[in-house]
Amino acid sequence: MKAIRYVLIAIVAVIVLAIAAIAIAMVVIDPNDYKPQIEKVVEEKTNLDLILEGDIGWSFIPLGLELNDVEATLDGERLVALKKLVAQIDFWSLIAMSPQVDTFVLDGLDAHLTINEQGEGNWTRIMPEPAEGDAKDKQDVASTPEQTPATDTGDEQGGEALNFNVDNVQISNAQVHYSDLSTGQKVTLEDFTVNASSITLGSEFPLEIAFRVETTQPQFAVDGSIKARLAANEALNDFAVSGLKAEFKMNGEPFGGKSVTAELSGSANANLENETATLSDFTASLANLTLSTNLDVKGFGAKPALKGKLAINEFSLKDLLENLGQPAVETTDEAVLQAIAFSTNIGGPAGKPALSDLVIKLDDTTFKGSGSYNLENGGIVFDLQGDTLNADRYLPPAVEGAEAKSAEPAQTAGGPESDLLPLETLRGLLLDIDFGLGELIVSNLSINEIKASTTASKGLLKVDEFSGKLYEGSFGANATIDARTDTPKWTINSDVSNVQTLPLLADLAEITMLAGGANLKINATTSGNRISVLRDKADGQISFNLAEGEFRKMNLTHLACQGIALVNQDELTADDWGDTTPFNDMHGTLDINGNTFDNTDLVASLAGMKLEGQGTVDLKQTLVDYELGLRIVGDIHRDNACRVTEYVEDVVIPVECRGDFSAGAASLCSFDGSRFRDTLKTIASNAAKKKANEEIDRAKDKAEEKAREKLEEKLGEGAGDKVKDALKGLFK
């Protein structure tokens, strides 16, 4: 027992003597006497020139080192400098094998990092180039596999957790200058400060950071401040942030010279071992835009599971753009884009985050639905239903001369025509989207009860359903876009039932030339990826039927009566012709040939007439070219000059319709005098037939009379009456 006691006494004595020796050395030895030697060693081992202008001091309790006014230059230019550096460690914590930093102070750090025109950073030149022999030795060592003994990780797994403590950390007046001579970019970090105290693993500690960053390309500056309480466990696998309050004031070219403020607040924690993370009452704001969320994450790999809520508070997009110094969005209705909001619940299985109770508000329009995204294959599933949307309110306002510009070819008006579809993107899409809208107003069209269902897979996009109600009628369509080749193929099929053409055409293109309930069947194909190409290569057929309707701003009865009056060699006296022509059952077929629609079987029933015709419609130049015929089948008007005689019955009065249909129908159709010669031939033929029939009838009457007279001469007066009926039957 005595031996053990003596050994312990000896150990304590050695420790006391060591401490005393260190204390005496610190008192006796002045480190400032060794400045020249320190500077020389640095210069020999590196390319730096070290300048120690200030005092060097050290302390025993706490054990520390203090440097003042230190500068290191490289090639005659400052690389780094600092006003003051203090690093102190509690001496007794070293004895207890539980190191505790008492104080760390860094003041006035000034660093200059530069990249030259060749892309080389000045910090890479701090160490001298190795000698040729040294470089070869290093390569040999690197190429020789090291015989590393097996590491026993048992101590790591079962050892004690790290015990780390820092009493105080202060960084102040730090700045870093970064310059890239190859691009001209300059970045400056200045007024950088950090304050933290009582940093102990397993406990919360306060942290404050402030800084200013400036760039020259673009000219941009941000002043930031961050306050929070941080925590980390002894195993350094569980971290937490609470009471976060961060503010960033930004200005410069990206914001049009305006000042913009961004803020962050809330709490967060992450556990690396369990692969879990949480955002609690987290809020991010930029100008008048605010996002808030509570979110749990489980799994940091390829298939995380999410659960929480996300919301964007109602905001004005126009105000946001103004606050950010961005160009304003010009809209027809200045009151739109003033109330936008978003909210949703987040959930779903691992690797497939899903949105539920999704609500999107756009002014007075509300969309509700759900969706999901598959992280493994990129598949997107969405179901979104809206109430009422007036899209015309969001269009740019009309500009004078816009119509003339829109008529110019795309190459002259806005440069070369661009592709319509991003083919590579489309080939990578995997979609299943259902969309509905109670009412949509677009291009002045009012469409109700819209339903749309779209799928996409490997470049094949299908609109399985697109239907709705339109102007007292309904429509349904389906389409396919095959984008698996560089020349996508389009197929479109549509049925339109009893859509009223007058309000439709009036709202769509201000055309009021036709009224009636339209029934259409459209089957068309095309190919290409530009609008002009799609039009040029369009092919298919449109069959149409209007059960009852009228031509407006044109009176075909008046045109027919003009021809009949010429035949009757008379003049029309009526002046109440009106500007419409009612019809029944107009039908026909349009063959699609690029931009041209050919119609060879137009037929319609009018009062006392039958409309027959053929012609073409050029959609590219908005031209119509029709030759119509009004076949007279009965009385058509009370004007005496328009009386239907036996000469004009079943003849065709020619009418031509030619011109730009976008300009209106009033001047499109007129009496066709050049084709009226054929009508006159028909009338002359009818007159000749009538005259011949009259001559035959007169000849029959004369022959009958002569035969009767001869019989009466031979048989007496009574005999003529007896054979009269027999003669009539003979001649008939």
Work out the percent of the chain whose per-residue pLDDT is above 90. 40
pLDDT exceeds 50 at position 375: yes
Q: How far apart are CA 645 and CA 240, in angstroms?
A: 102
What's the pTM?
A: 0.74
Predicted confidence at residue 379, as pLDDT, reads: 93
**Angle between helix 717-731 and helix 676-715 axes, rounded to 10 deg:** 150
Q: 687 phi and psi, to 5 degrees? A: -65, -40
Output the average pLDDT for the chain.
Answer: 81
Predicted confidence at residue 172, as pLDDT, reads: 93
CB atoms within 10 A of CB 629: 21
Q: What is the pLDDT of residues 128-148, one digit of tens each?
A: 876 555 555 555 555 555 544
Higher pLDDT, 711 or 545: 545
Higher pLDDT, 193 or 702: 193
Nearest to 25 by CA among 64, 59, 54, 66: 59
Q: How far apart are CA 279 and CA 293, in angstroms?
A: 7
pLDDT exceeds 80 at position 663: no
Q: How far apart are CA 624 and CA 640, in angstroms?
A: 34
DSSP conformational letter for 622: T
Higher pLDDT, 107 or 505: 107
Predicted confidence at residue 517, as pLDDT, reads: 79
Three-class secondary structure of residue 647 per DSSP: coil
Mean pLDDT of 78-102: 73
Mean pLDDT of 179-198: 92
Among 235-249, 597-611, 687-701, top mean pLDDT goes to 235-249
Q: How far apart are CA 588 and CA 601, in angstroms?
A: 5
Among 120-124, 343-347, 559-563, top mean pLDDT goes to 343-347
Our CA angle for 276, 282, 288, nearest 5°, is 150
Nearest to 606 by CA among 682, 501, 502, 516: 516
Cα-to-chain-centroid distance, residue 504: 28
Q: Tokens 């020259």: give the residue.
A: 216
pLDDT exceeds 80 at position 465: yes
Segment among 376-380, 415-419, 463-467 with least mean pLDDT: 415-419
**Backbone angle region of 229, left / alpha / beta, with phi > 0 → left and psi within -120 to 50 → alpha:** beta
Mean pLDDT of 90-108: 70
Predicted confidence at residue 91, as pLDDT, reads: 60
Q: Which two tokens stand for residue 415?
A: 């440069």
Among 297-301, 470-474, 502-506, top mean pLDDT goes to 297-301
Mean pLDDT of 273-294: 95
Mean pLDDT of 519-541: 92
Q: What own/partner pairs with CB < 8 Å and gap ≥ 24 does 254-258 have?
A: 254/218, 254/220, 254/325, 255/324, 255/325, 255/326, 256/324, 256/325, 256/326, 257/325, 258/323, 258/324, 258/325
Predicted confidence at residue 257, as pLDDT, reads: 84
pLDDT exceeds 90 at position 637: no
Segment among 126-135, 237-246, 264-273, 330-339 with least mean pLDDT: 126-135
Q: What is the pLDDT of residues 249-270, one digit of tens each?
A: 999 999 988 999 999 999 999 9
pLDDT class of 412 with cuts at 50, 70, 90: very low
Nearest to 524 by CA among 620, 474, 595: 595
pLDDT class of 102 with cuts at 50, 70, 90: confident
Q: Computed from CA positions of residues 59, 62, 65, 67, in that sequence, does the dihedral angle turn out positive or negative? A: negative
DSSP conformational letter for 352: -
Predicted confidence at residue 562, as pLDDT, reads: 84
Predicted confidence at residue 223, as pLDDT, reads: 96
Among 147-156, 202-211, 393-402, top mean pLDDT goes to 202-211
Segment among 105-114, 701-710, 723-732 with least mean pLDDT: 723-732
Among 228-242, 394-408, 598-612, top mean pLDDT goes to 228-242
pLDDT exceeds 70 at position 20: no
**Angle between helix 676-715 and helix 556-567 axes, rounded to 10 deg:** 50
Mean pLDDT of 99-108: 80
Collect all residues with Cβ–Cβ distance below 8 Å to 478 and sequence separation of at least 6.
462, 463, 464, 465, 466, 492, 493, 494
Mean pLDDT of 55-84: 82
pLDDT class of 25 with cuts at 50, 70, 90: very low
Nearest to 669 by CA among 562, 509, 588, 519: 562
Tell me which amino acid residue 279 is.
L
